[in-house]
Amino acid sequence: MARFTTEVALRWSDMDAFGHVNNNKYLVLLEEARVAMMFTVAEAAGVPGFRQGVVVARHEVDFLLPVTVPADVRVELWVERAGNASFTFAYELFADDKLALRAKSVMVPFDTVEERPRRLTAPERAFLARWDG
């Protein structure tokens, strides 16, 4: 029952003219959490394939609360599903410890040499299985 938890730093310019963090900026924050897991942590664990290429196939995002800067933001991330050639992240984003956003992303490993999707390897599946929510 593990989640990957990471703190992400808001920037003042994440706010738009309405004075709230703009909806598209949350996607950047979620990307930071994914990158920390899939690139940095995975590579340190001997699983470098994601850094070499992985694309987003789908996002679903529910915005629950507006956020203003400054706020302490924490993203909790886990793997909801891992198939042969894709997997699904689920996220909860907390601002000052209040749940502000829920999201899911369908991810596809991508072979950037062949320029096409590829299957997950066994070590990748084992790595993803650690973060089971």
- Under the rule (CB under 8 A), what is the footprint of a copy of itself? 8-9, 11-13, 15-20, 22-25, 27-28, 31-32, 35, 39-40, 53, 55-63, 66, 69-70, 112
Give buried/exposed letters for 25-57 (b at 16+ CB in 10 A, else e).
bbeebbebbbebbbeebbeeeebebbeebbeee
Residue 22 or 123 having the CB closest to a copy of itself: 22
Q: Are 104 and 80 in contact (CB under 8 A)?
A: yes
Shortest Å, Cβ 67 to a copy of itself: 12
Q: How far is the CB of 115 from a copy of itself (least distance, A)?
A: 9
Which residues touch 36 (CB under 8 Å, ≥6 apart)?
A: 4, 6
Q: Which is nearer to a copy of itself, 17 or 122 (CB)?
A: 17
Distance CA 31, CA 24 (A): 11
- Of 97 and 115, which has the nearer Cβ to a copy of itself? 115
Nearer to a copy of itself (CB atom), residue 62 or residue 122: 62
